[in-house]
Amino acid sequence: MMTLYDYLDSGNGYKVRLVLAHLGLPYKLVECDILKGETRTPEFLAKNPNGRIPTLQLEDGSHLSESGAIVWYLTEGTKLAPRDRKARGETLQWMFFEQYSHEPYIAVARFWRHYLPKLSPLQEMDLPERMAKGYAALGVMEQHLARRRFFVDEQFGLADIALYAYTHVAGEGGFNLDNFPHVNTWLARVANQPGHVTISHRN
């Protein structure tokens, strides 16, 4: 059986757990407390030298890290995978957008404001720009969703899962989604998919 090393509050980990739930794949969950440095031990670094969850141990004993890579691997040949070359390109476009232009602002603001007891002076100084860039990412999503039900090919898939993970908890980072009606409608649409589980759901 596969083993997922993860931290339940992580949106990146949630992407993997959501895919595993949708596909009905069994796995063992090993929780690692990132706040206590449990992903920086020699034992963990042997699984992922970059010291991050989620990390998935495959059936053959090898490890795969980076949420986007793990969900791509897991969904190959399934209904969640993009169906042709163009859709694969567009799906990866939104997945890289999420990791580069969305997560570093929305997820990091959430971590700072929701999980840290106090911001450092650098974080205090950096926060306004993080918030502005997070709102910019939400604006790009809002515009795209204005005439679409899902991100790629009008079909629920990996791009939706990648973007849902931190957008649905953006409020914990202090983001107000009132001005993003299409994002809100899409969030509800994703949460209503058969097989959906919440971020704190244990398998």
Query: x/- site string to its own copies, residues 138 to 177, per CB under 8 A?
Result: --x--xx---------------------------------
Candidate segments 20-28, 67-75, 168-176, 188-196, binder of its own copies by CB under 8 A: 67-75
Residue 17 CB, nearest distance to its own copies (Å)? 17
Q: Does 43 bind its own copies (CB under 8 A)?
A: no
Candidate segments 21-29, 86-94, 111-119, 184-192, binder of its own copies by CB under 8 A: 86-94
Select from 25, 37, 41, 69 the one that contacts its own copies (CB under 8 A). 69
Select from 28, 41, 49, 132 the one that contacts its own copies (CB under 8 A). 49
3-state secondary structure string, the chain? CEEEEECCCCHHHHHHHHHHHHHCCCEEEEECCHHHCCCCCHHHHHHCCCCCCCEEECCCCCEEECHHHHHHHHHCCCCCCCCCHHHHHHHHHHHHHHHHHHHHHHHHHHHHHHHCCCCCHHHHHHHHHHHHHHHHHHHHHHHHHCCCCCCCCCCCCHHHHHHHHHHCCHHHHCCCCCCCHHHHHHHHHHHCCCCCCCCCCCC
Select from 36, 122, 154, 200 the one that contacts its own copies (CB under 8 A). 122
CA dist 195 and 21 (Å) reads 6
Q: Does 93 bind its own copies (CB under 8 A)?
A: yes
Residues that bind its own copies (CB under 8 A): 49-50, 52, 62, 64-70, 72-73, 76, 85-86, 88-93, 95-97, 99-101, 103-104, 121-122, 125-126, 129, 140, 143-144
